[in-house]
Structure 1
Amino acid sequence: MPDRTPDRTDLRGDCARCFGLCCVALPFAASADFAIDKRAGTPCPNLREDHRCGIHARLRQEGFSGCTVYDCFGAGQKVSQVTFGGQDWRAGSPERARHMLDVFPVVRQLHELLWYLSEALTLPPARPLRDDLRRVLGATEELTRQTPEQLAQLDVAAHRQEVNGLLLRTSELVRAGTRGRRKDRRGADLVGARLRGADLRGANLRGACLIAADLTRADLRGADMIGADLRDADLGDADLTGAFFLTQPQVNAARGTAGTRLPDSVTRPAHWTPRV
């Protein structure tokens, strides 16, 4: 049976093919991440007529660091170019615009699941699950191609539950290859935790809250990072080689150095500081 893993480039945001949906559909509140309040469905004041951000090159300096850690996983261009066939929400009726903005968060969730499923297919220990992974991947792809009306009625939570069960089984198989005691920190409150140099090889960090945690020189090889909140976490010189289900938004939200070792699935953020 041929591998149906999608080209991962299709699961990365391409703003040039999107109508600025994330800048309109999503709400945000004035905070350390956003300089202003914005309601869902209201265009960000920084959104230009060409659907590009007017302050993209200086988002952090202008107080919009939250935008720099967001990724639609390619949902923006899927909704813009496929679901609505290249129709601009600004040029159509208010009803069509509303449909686009309602559908975007649904497709974004589905594309995030596609990212995890496609990564799971690349993990050698998950070989026994590949038929199931391919099946669910294909079903998720089909869901993303439904009509706007079907997508608006989709029970995403139920589908996420099915996918999550499969990803949990994948995690268990992958982490079983790590020698020694594998720490279970699933959903743990580790805000500001002092984990400098900690041995977290093969750890279960699914959904762990690691905001501002000190993970300097921590060993995170082979750890399950799905849903871990790494905002302002210090990954200086940490080793995340082989860490899986780690996304670019998570890495962008953290702090690191030139000595931080990352898996090939993510890139080193430009704002990280070099090692002194």
Structure 2
Amino acid sequence: MIPANFEYHRAGSVDEALSLLDQPDVYAKVLSGGHSLIPALKLRLNQPGALVDIARIAELRYIRQDGNSIAIGATSTHKDIANSALLAQHVAMMPQAAGLIGDPQVRNVGTIGGSIAHADPAADWPGVLLAADAEIVLRSKAGSRTLAAQGFFLGFYSTALQEGEIVTEIRVPIPAAGTKSTYQKFMQPASRFAIVGCAAVVQISNGTCSKVRVAFNGVADACFRDGNVEKALEGKTATAENIAAAAAQAAQGVSILSDHYAAEDYRKHLATVYAKRALTAVAG
């Protein structure tokens, strides 16, 4: 199908993008990598009157240390993140996750900001950012605000983004010494979207696990932190038995998706398997 007619604007700055989004009587959408928006336009599931392209705004593409955090500009591509030595040093699951997204063409153009704004339940970044205790910086003509990832992702393709706002930055705290992280996923082989994806962050001190963070995507209709798995391993020694017992708690009490890729029971089984793999990788 051919998209409905729309105006196209290439913004040269964040301020220009925000002005273009603030057109009276025009429904405008932000275009970044376009891997989610363009298919929706072709199917006419989304029919904006204007597209505001922010992909070439230089001030939104960076990965740098800022105090005790790593700041990632919203138009940083998946490839940028996969190749980041800074992230590999401190938050290894982020380059790992980036390298598992799509194919080289997708990784070269797709952006982290566009992915999280779309909030696909099977996308990789939402679960990873939840496990990382990341913050999302949003900007509108009225100013900026910062939300914890937990408060940004609200549900099925739903975020806290308001009309006229764009994602400008993702802030990831640098973990304490002894912290390891990983992202493991069972992927749909064609799209490489996650049927089940599990991000885990664990600090190990004298063989004991602390600050356990486990998050899933692909399992339910939105990403989520799995408090049951976290509590089961928190304060325990990093033995195979404790890891297996914690992983067995995966996705308890969650409304699990069932579709042509995986039935509910199979997804529940995969959540346990991938929680165990992730926790073994960081704590075993």
**What TM-score range do you get, normalising by the shorter chain?**
under 0.3
The structure whose residues are more often helix, as a share, is: 1
Higher relative contact order (CA 8 A, sep 6+): 2
The structure whose residues are more often strand, as a share, is: 2
TM-score (normalised: structure 1)? 0.25
TM-score (normalised: structure 2)? 0.25
